[in-house]
Structure 1
Amino acid sequence: MTDLLAAYPVIYETDVAWGEMDAFQHVNNIIYFRYFESARLHYFQQTPLLAEMEVTGVGPILHSIHCRYRFPLTFPDRVRVGVRVTEMAEDRITVHHRAVSARHNRIAAEGEGVVVMFDYRRNHKAALSPTLRAAIQRLEAVVSGQ
């Protein structure tokens, strides 16, 4: 399983809950977005983003997200979600997610989201801070070998 997530500097793990399954006996499609959200937050916790948000009021807001389902997750299982930033612009980042079934050692889903920095006090877009940009570059350098 390590190879399936080798390109991801941050990995979030959680158990598949029985209640996440639907009438078709697999994890409901919407749950993958929850896994991705939790994984993104775990990524952000490795950066100064949340601390900066408390001081400046500037933080992330999800602009768009999509998911490609590749293999159905079922209970019992443990899902590992890799997260990486694939693109940084002045005011946004593109985040790639990969969910892997621990039980089957298979990619269950992949997704990509665009996260925009938003000034919640002024109610408009904001730029990525230099410290956040540097922290993301450091995290991503771990897997790229730079």
Structure 2
Amino acid sequence: MSTSTEMRALLADFRVAVALPVQWGEQDPFGHVNHVTYFRWYETSRIAYAEKVGLMTLHREAGIGPILASIANDYRRQLTYPDTVHVGVRVARIGVASITLEHKIFSEHQRALAAEGTSTLVVFDYKAQRPTRVPEPLRLAIEALEGREFPRT
């Protein structure tokens, strides 16, 4: 089975995934990718997801966009250079003013799960400087992308 086929199978439940080469400078003195890098990779996947569902357009046009409220990560395997990681992201929950995301990082070299985490975005009105309800068009775009409905809270 080819690496791309394996990665597609591992990320089958993730509607958005990004492939990122591991950079030499992302390693720390212990010889593995530093923990901070995983959070940067999650951010890259979150922004790709937000672009896909129109949240970044909403931010540019109306000043309503994402703000990170929390993030967590569980490390499963060490990563080293050279490698390419595939970072999948999907919505786990839509709240009144928040969106909870699940992330998974797969190592192409190891052909295995390297890390998994969660992050919570708050839909934020940057003009009023306060959280705001998840707009219905955004909710519908997420549901369309995910191929399922989320309970209304």
Aligned length: 142
Q: 1:19 maps to what in 2?
A: 25
Structure 1, unpaired ranges of 5+: none
Q: 1:126 maps to what in 2?
A: 132
Q: 1:69 maps to what in 2?
A: 75
Query: What's the secondary structure of 2:147's corresponding residue?
Result: helix
Question: Which string of whole-angstrom CA distances, capped at 9 and with x for unpartnered residues, describes residues 115-138 of structure 1?
Answer: 001111111011111111111001
Structure 1 runs, 4 residues or longer, greater than 3 Å off = none
2:63 alignment partner, one of 54, 57, 65: 57
Tell me how far apart the structure 2 counterparts of residues 2 and 51 of structure 1 sit (CA, whole Å).
28
Query: What's the secondary structure of 2:38's corresponding residue?
Result: helix
Q: Say if 2:50 is the partner of 1:44.
A: yes
% identical equivalent positions: 41
Q: Which amino acid aligns with 2:8?
A: T
Query: What's the secondary structure of 1:33's corresponding residue?
Result: helix
Q: What is the TM-score with the length of structure 1 in the denominator?
A: 0.94
Q: 2:103 maps to what in 1?
A: 97
Tell me how far apart the structure 2 counterparts of residues 45 and 59 of structure 1 sit (CA, whole Å).
11
1:138 alignment partner, one of 137, 140, 144: 144
Mapping 1:99-118, distance limit 5 Å: 99-118=105-124
Q: 1:8 maps to what in 2?
A: 14
Q: What is the TM-score with the length of structure 2 in the denominator?
A: 0.90
Which of the pair has the greater relative contact order for Cα pairs under 8 Å at 6+ separation?
1
CA RMSD of aligned residues (A): 1.0
Deviation, 1:3, is 2.2
